[in-house]
Amino acid sequence: MNSIVSPPLTVAKHEQGAEPIVRFRDLHRRFGDTPALDGVSLDIGKGEIVGLIGRSGAGKSTLIRCLNGLERVDSGEITIEGRRIDRLPERELQPLRRRIGMIFQHFNLLSAKTVIDNIALPLKIEGVAKPERRERARELLGLVGLSGRENAYPSELSGGQKQRVGIARALAARPALLLSDEATSALDPETTRSILALLKDINTRLGVTILLITHEMEVVRSIADRVAVIDAGRIVEEGPVWSVFANPQSDITTTMLASVRPQLPTEISARLKDEGDSVVLAIDTATSDAGKLLFDLQAQLGGRASLLHGGIERIQDRPVGRFFVSVPVDDLTTARQFLISHLARVEVLGHV
């Protein structure tokens, strides 16, 4: 009997500049009869951290390969810094690729080269003189917290240190866009947190735009400004991270959020039925008074609301709350009206 009432939560629209760093417009790409991209449109603004999230096979990798020019779209437009690239010949793509720094899941470091030579490699390919490229590499080693490890080899580094080298290498040519392709998937949780903190610091200090490709909502929640959810080659949802967490609009987003949002305890969900004296509600809120919403609901119902589970977290400096509450059947209409008037999203899960 799952019924949902979704009031028009205030969702801040992305403040776009005069020209996005990257613009995808109605991209289509098929492999045989299978659409890998099915009308993808998305803007990535200067200085943003945008999370592109989806399950395996959703279209993330194809989109990135099209952005790098490794795949060609069947139709649609891709622009980088205002220049359309989807029909450029390979020779003209090369300088544009240097505007994108890549961070890989498995680091992709050259085992026979030292840390400083790995970082300086993109500059060597560009023909930058050795003294200049080594100076730049040392500067980046300081930025990523690895000063003094210039002459170490990848085999002597931990996974987190290897990824820091990978980040430094990605920044060597001063790219406009940093592309993180599942960069933390091979790391333990503590190391993941340190790498995400580093990326956030780089974004803040250098103003580098970052596109995070991931299947982990925790990564998006930690540092992203906006999130776009891709499923079956389509962007099914997009918006500020706090608003998507507070009010997911698609089934796939709701499913992917299940691991990072409070869920009704199984011992309660197992007792839900179609009829009963009380109703169990799921309440989502992202207003400034989220912390006192339940107290006000209690007062409205004369103390007849019972908190079953839930809590509040801060996402992008906004309180985002998710609660599970039991109210008497006779109070359901009053409770709904009160919660909706306070811009909460309400779902009836069942009776107990």
What's the rounded Cα separation, in Å, for the pair 170 and 60?
20
Predicted confidence at residue 186, as pLDDT, reads 86
H or E element, residue 163 = helix 159-171
**Half-sphere exposure (CA, 13 Å, Cβ side) for 237?**
22
Nearest alpha carbon to residue 207 among 241, 159, 175? 175
State the architecture of 262-351 in CATH terms: 2-Layer Sandwich (3.30)
The pLDDT value given to residue 326: 97
- Yes or no: say if 43 and 14 are a contact pair by the CB < 8 Å rule: yes
Residue extents of the structural domains in the chain = 22-257, 262-351
pLDDT, residue 10, reads 34
Superfamily in which the 22-257 domain is placed by CATH: P-loop containing nucleotide triphosphate hydrolases (3.40.50.300)
Task: Please give the pLDDT value at position 18.
Answer: 53
* 8 A C-beta contact, residue 320 and residue 242: yes
Identical fold, 22-257 and 262-351: no
Residues 236, 256: Cα–Cα separation, whole Å = 13
Q: Is the pTM of this model over 0.85?
A: yes
For the chain (352 residues), the mean pLDDT of every run of 10, in chain order, is: 40 50 96 95 96 93 91 95 90 87 91 96 94 96 95 96 96 94 91 95 94 92 96 96 93 92 94 94 92 93 95 92 96 96 94 94
